[in-house]
Structure 1
Amino acid sequence: MLNGVQTGAGAQGRNWLRLCASLLALGLASCASVVDNDPPGTQAVRATPTALPADAPRVIAPPNADERESARVLAVYGGAYRDAKLERYLDDLVQRLAAQSDRPDIPYKLTVLNASSINAFALPSGRLFVTRGLLALANDDAEIAAVIAHEMAHVSARHAQARANAERNTQLVSGVGDMLHNTSLATSSQGSLAAFSRQQELAADEIGIRTIAKAAFDPYGASRFLTSMRRQVEARGRPSTPDFLSTHPSTPERIAKANEEASQFGSPGSGEHDKFGYLSVIDGLTYGEDPSQGFVQGRIFWQPRLAFTFTAPPSFTLDNTPQAILGVDGNGRALRLDTVKTKDGQSLSAYLGSGWISGVDTGSISTLSINGNEAATALARGQDWSFRLYAIRFDGDVYRLILAARNLDASTDALFQQTANSFRRMTSDEQRNVHPEHIDIVTVRTGDTLQSLASRMVEPQDQLDNFMVLNGFDSNTQLRPGDRVKIVAQ
C-alpha cells in the first residue's frame, strides 16, 4: 500500500482531528447500547457519486470475503469515481503490465476511488484500487504504471494475504494484552507487524520496477512518484502521532532503493514516459472534496445533494468522513454529525431517551424547532465527557448532532446551541453555486513563469508550493513554451 497522504487541509491538523474524534467515538461507545429497532451504527451524510437506477439488481450480501472487502474499501473511500475515458486508459495500462507481471494469470481489475487522499490498495484476488488524489499527483504514464505494478507485486508475492493473516494474529495478541492490561504486549506485536510491512513495501517496489521496465516504461517513474509524495508530505506537514510513514520505509530510503533498482534497466528517460497523453486523460479530474459527498469550507459544512449546511463553533476543524462529520478544537471539545434510523412513529424526544446512549438526563430532554425543522435536545454525562445531544428531523431523515466537552460549562453549552441553531436548508442559489475543484491542464506560453502559472491556482494560500508539488517541479525547473502543466481550477 502506498503512503496515505491527505490533500487539502494540513495533515497534522487532520491527524489530530481524527485522534480526538476517535476518543470521542470511544467515549460514546463506552456508554452506548443500541435498542432492537435502532440499527447498529449510523448512516453517513455523504453520498456515493453515482446512484443506482431504480431497476438495478440489489445485492443482498457480498458472496465472498473478497467482495466484502471490496465493498468495505468502496464504502470507506467514497465509492468509485466514474470517468469512462480514464477507466479505458487505466484498463489498457493494467493489461499491459499484467502481461509482464510475475502472475499474468491473475485477472487484475482496477477501480478508481472517489477520494482526495493519496493511496492505493490491492486485494489478494487481484482487485486493485487507486484514489483520484493519487492520479492527480502523478505526472506521466510511467509514474502511474509504477504505482499499479507495485500493487500487482503485493498480489503476486502474496503480501496481501500474508498481511491479512498477520493482522488477524496481531488482533488476537492485542485482545489478550487488553484483557491483562499489558499494553507493552500489544505494542510489541504491532511493531512486529510494522517491520513485516516494511519488507513487503521494499519487495513490492523492486518487483514493480522490474515489471514496468519489462513493459517498456521508464523504470525511474517509481522514484519520480515517490519524490512527489515526499514533497507532498513536506508541504503539508508530518503528523506528530503515528501514521503510515512511521510503519513503512522512509520515503528517502525508498527513493534511493528505487533509483538503484531502476539503474539496472537503463538511464533516466530510457523507457516510455508519456506526459502529454497522461495529462490529457486526467484533464477535468475532480480535485479535493467532491461536493456530491458534502464538503468543508472553514468551519462550515455544506451538503448540496441533501441541501443542508451547519457551522461549527470557533476554532473547530471539521473533517468529512464516510461515517460522519467530525470536528475538534484541540481544547477538549468535539462534535459528530450523522444520520440514524428511528422506530416508526417514534418522537425525537423519545429517541433521545431510548437508551442508545446511557447517562442521559431525562429531565433535560426538550423539544424545539431549528430553522423550521422539528428537533429535540438533551444532556448526557459519561466518565470523561459531557454531551449536548440533538436529534433533528430534516426531509424525512433524522440527523444526530453530538457535541462533547470535557468541561461542559454554560459558555461552552451556549456555543454548542449556536452550532445546532446553524443547521439549516441551503438556498437554491447556494446549491447552484457549488462546483467541484478540478485538474485543469494548461499549455505554457512564452513569458509564463512558475509564479504566474501558480497564481491561477484556485487555492488562495501557498499557491506556488502547491503548484510545484502537483507538477513534480522544484525551484530549478525551467518551463518551455508548449509544455503542459496542471493547475487546480473551479
Structure 2
Amino acid sequence: MSLFRRLAAVIGMAVVAATAGCAVNPVSGQSELSLLSEQQEITIGRQEHPKIIEAYGAYDDPELQAYVQRIGERLAARSHRSDLIYRFTVLDSSEVNAFALPGGYIYITRGLLAYLNSEDELAAVLGHEIGHVTARHSVRQISASTAANLGFTLGALLVPELQNRGVSDLFSTLSTALLRGYGREHELEADRLGAQYLAGTGRDPEAMLDVVGVLKNQEQFEIQLAKEENREPRVYHGVFATHPDNDERLKTVVRQAEALPGGQATAPRGPFLRRLDGLVFGESASEGTLRGNAFYHRDLDIALQFPEGWRVENRPDRLVAISPDRSAALQVTVADRNKRISPERFLRDRLKLDDLQGGEPLRVDGLDGYTGVASAGAGADVRNARVAVLYKGSQAFVFLGTPQKADGLKAHDDAMMRSIRTFHALSEEERDLAEPLRLAIIEARDGTTFRELAAESRIHHHAEEQLRLLNARYPRGEPIPGERLKTVQ
C-alpha cells in the first residue's frame, strides 16, 4: 500500500460539522475564510494521531523520541502559536517524509532521519512542519477546497445531502496535502517561518537549503533506480520537495532569517550522529527484510526466494515480485485460517475460486498446501493466474501469480512454482539475515573510500550510492580523514 493510500486511510471522518466564517491568521494577522475553528482543528489532530501511530508505528527508541521532542519544543516555543502543545513523533517507516496533522501533531520518519547530517537539519524539517501548523495551512487548504469545489454556503460546512461527499473530499484534500505539500506559496511560507524559528533558537537557517539538497539527491537516486527497473519513479512530494534547484525565493527567506539575532550559529555534527548510531535502516524486523531476492521475516518465522532478476517490493500488506520485462507478477499475502478446512477448500471457499483448474496438493518444507490455475480479471481482460496456499500454524500464506497478457502464464509458471517451493521456516543461520540493517557511526581513516565501505556493508543493492546519500556526498565525493561517517551494518 502506497504512502498516499495509507495516509488517506487513516485520515478519517473527524469533522462531522463546522461553522463557516472568518478567523484571524496567527501568522499574518489578517482575517481569512476559515471553515474550522481552532478547537475543531485540534480535535482533528487528537482523533487522527492514534490512527497514524497504528498505521506506521512509533519508532521504539524512547531516548531518540525524547530528543526529537526537545528539539521540536524549543522551536515551537518561538513560533506564532506557542500556546499549542506540540507532539513530535519519529515513525517506524523507511519512507523518506515528514508531515503534520492540524493542532500540533508532527511526524518525521526514521527513513528521513537517517539521511540528515546535523541537528540543524533535523530542526529545519521540524521547523518547516511547525510552520504549516502555525499558519494553519491544512485549515486553509480545506476551507479553500470546500468553498471552491463543493459550493458550500457560509452558513454551514456540511449539509445533510452532501455530508458523505463533503467529509470524503475534506480528508482527501488533507491527506493529499500531507503527502504532496500545500502548494508552492504555502510551502515557501512554511520555509520562511521555519527559518525564523531556527534563527530564534540560535540555529543556522542555511540548514533549510541543506535539507532541500538531501531530498533532491533522494529524488535523483529514485529516478535512476526507476529507469534501471523499468518503472515509474516513486518520488515523495513532502517537505521541501516543491522547490526547484537553486530556488532564489527560498534563498531569500533564508538570508532574511540569518539577519535575525542568533541566526548564524551551527550545531556540532558529532553529537547528532551519535544519536543515529544503531538506527534501523530500511525495513524493520516486523516488516521483514530483503537480501537481494531472498525475503526473511523474523516474527512470521519464514523465508522465501524469488526468481533471479525479478524486482521485489516489500509493501505493508504484501510482497510483490515483478518479472524483468514487467510481463508478470507474483504476490504473497498472509491471512488467518480461522477454520479447520483443507488447503483446497481454503482456495475454493475462502477465496471463492470456483473455477480452479489443474489443482494438486502441495507439500513444502513439511507444510500442507494446494495449488491450481484460476481466472483473474474480467471481460476481455481475463487471464489465467497461478494460485497457491501454504498452511503454517494458524496462518495461510497465499500466492497469486498473474501475467500481463491472457496467454502469458505459461512463460512464467515454472519460475513462480519454483519460488513457491522455496518457502520454509527460518534456519538458525537465516535468523541473523532476518534482523534489520542498522546505522553505525565510524571515523574515516586516511584513504577511506565509499567503495571500500560499500564492500563491507550489508546493503544489498547500490551500496556505494546509498552510503553517499547517507553522508551528503551523492553523487560524487569521498570521506575526509577524521570525519564521522554513517555506515550500514
CA deviation profile, 1:196-227 (whole Å, cap 9, x unmatched): 53333222222211211112110011101111
The question of whether the paired residues in 1 share the 8 Å contact of 2:337 and 2:395 is answered with no
1:459 and 1:140, CA in 2 relative to 1: closer, same or farther beyond 3 A? same
What letter matches 1:309 in structure 2?
A
The question of whether the paired residues in 1 share the 8 Å contact of 2:216 and 2:241 is answered with no
User: What is the count of residue pairs matched by the alignment?
Assistant: 413
* Secondary structure of the structure 1 residue equivalent to 2:349: coil
* Secondary structure of the structure 1 residue equivalent to 2:93: coil
The question of whether the paired residues in 2 share the 8 Å contact of 1:301 and 1:309 is answered with yes
Q: Which runs of 5+ in 2 are unaligned?
A: 6-42, 152-175
Matches within 5 A, 1:166-181: none
What letter matches 1:356 in structure 2?
L
Structure with greater contact order relative to length (CA < 8 Å, sep ≥ 6):
1
1:274 and 1:124, CA in 2 relative to 1: closer, same or farther beyond 3 A? same
What letter matches 2:385 in structure 1?
F
* Secondary structure of the structure 1 residue equivalent to 2:183: helix
* Secondary structure of the structure 2 residue equivalent to 1:137: coil
Matches within 5 A, 1:83-162: 83-162=61-140
CA deviation profile, 1:52-109 (whole Å, cap 9, x unmatched): xxxxxxxxxxxx75466334433543x2211122122111101101101121122211
1:320 corresponding residue in structure 2: 314
1:386 to 367, 384, 387: 384
The question of whether the paired residues in 1 share the 8 Å contact of 2:292 and 2:461 is answered with no
Q: C-alpha separation between the residues in 1 aligned to 2:244 and 2:181?
A: 17
What letter matches 1:466 in structure 2?
Q
The question of whether the paired residues in 1 share the 8 Å contact of 2:75 and 2:197 is answered with yes
The question of whether the paired residues in 2 share the 8 Å contact of 1:456 and 1:487 is answered with no
CA deviation after TM superposition for structure 1 residue 165, in Å:
6.7
What letter matches 2:312 in structure 1?
L
1:73 corresponding residue in structure 2: 52
TM superposition score normalised by structure 1? 0.74
What letter matches 2:201 in structure 1?
A
Q: C-alpha separation between the residues in 2 aligned to 1:85 and 1:18?
A: 29
1:346 corresponding residue in structure 2: 341
Q: C-alpha separation between the residues in 1 aligned to 2:303 and 2:148?
A: 41
Matches within 5 A, 1:268-283: 270-283=264-277
What letter matches 1:421 in structure 2?
R
Tell whether 2:297 aligns with 1:299.
Answer: no
1:466 and 1:108, CA in 2 relative to 1: closer, same or farther beyond 3 A? same
The question of whether the paired residues in 1 share the 8 Å contact of 2:199 and 2:264 is answered with no
* Secondary structure of the structure 2 residue equivalent to 1:276: helix
TM superposition score normalised by structure 2? 0.74
What letter matches 2:413 in structure 1?
D
What letter matches 2:444 in structure 1?
V
CA deviation after TM superposition for structure 1 residue 251, in Å:
3.9
Tell whether 2:233 aligns with 1:264.
Answer: no
CA deviation profile, 1:159-214 (whole Å, cap 9, x unmatched): 234456778899999xxxxxxxxxxxxxxxx99x9795333322222221121111
What letter matches 1:424 in structure 2?
H
Tell whether 2:191 aligns with 1:205.
Answer: yes
2:365 corresponding residue in structure 1: 371
1:180 corresponding residue in structure 2: none
* Secondary structure of the structure 1 residue equivalent to 2:114: helix
Q: C-alpha separation between the residues in 2 aligned to 1:170 and 1:422?
A: 55
The question of whether the paired residues in 2 share the 8 Å contact of 1:198 and 1:249 is answered with no
2:27 corresponding residue in structure 1: none
The question of whether the paired residues in 1 share the 8 Å contact of 2:120 and 2:207 is answered with yes
* Secondary structure of the structure 1 residue equivalent to 2:402: strand
2:212 corresponding residue in structure 1: 226
1:468 and 1:310, CA in 2 relative to 1: closer, same or farther beyond 3 A? closer
The question of whether the paired residues in 1 share the 8 Å contact of 2:402 and 2:409 is answered with no
What letter matches 1:418 in structure 2?
R
Q: C-alpha separation between the residues in 2 aligned to 1:304 and 1:194?
A: 33
Q: C-alpha separation between the residues in 2 aligned to 1:216 and 1:306?
A: 48
Q: C-alpha separation between the residues in 2 aligned to 1:324 and 1:167?
A: 34
Q: Which runs of 5+ in 1 are unaligned?
A: 1-16, 23-63, 174-189
What letter matches 1:70 in structure 2?
H
CA deviation after TM superposition for structure 1 residue 146, in Å:
0.6
1:86 and 1:391, CA in 2 relative to 1: closer, same or farther beyond 3 A? same
CA deviation after TM superposition for structure 1 residue 478, in Å:
8.2
Q: C-alpha separation between the residues in 1 aligned to 2:142 and 2:289?
A: 33
CA deviation after TM superposition for structure 1 residue 346, in Å:
2.9
RMSD between aligned alpha carbons? 3.7
The question of whether the paired residues in 1 share the 8 Å contact of 2:302 and 2:426 is answered with yes
1:472 corresponding residue in structure 2: 472
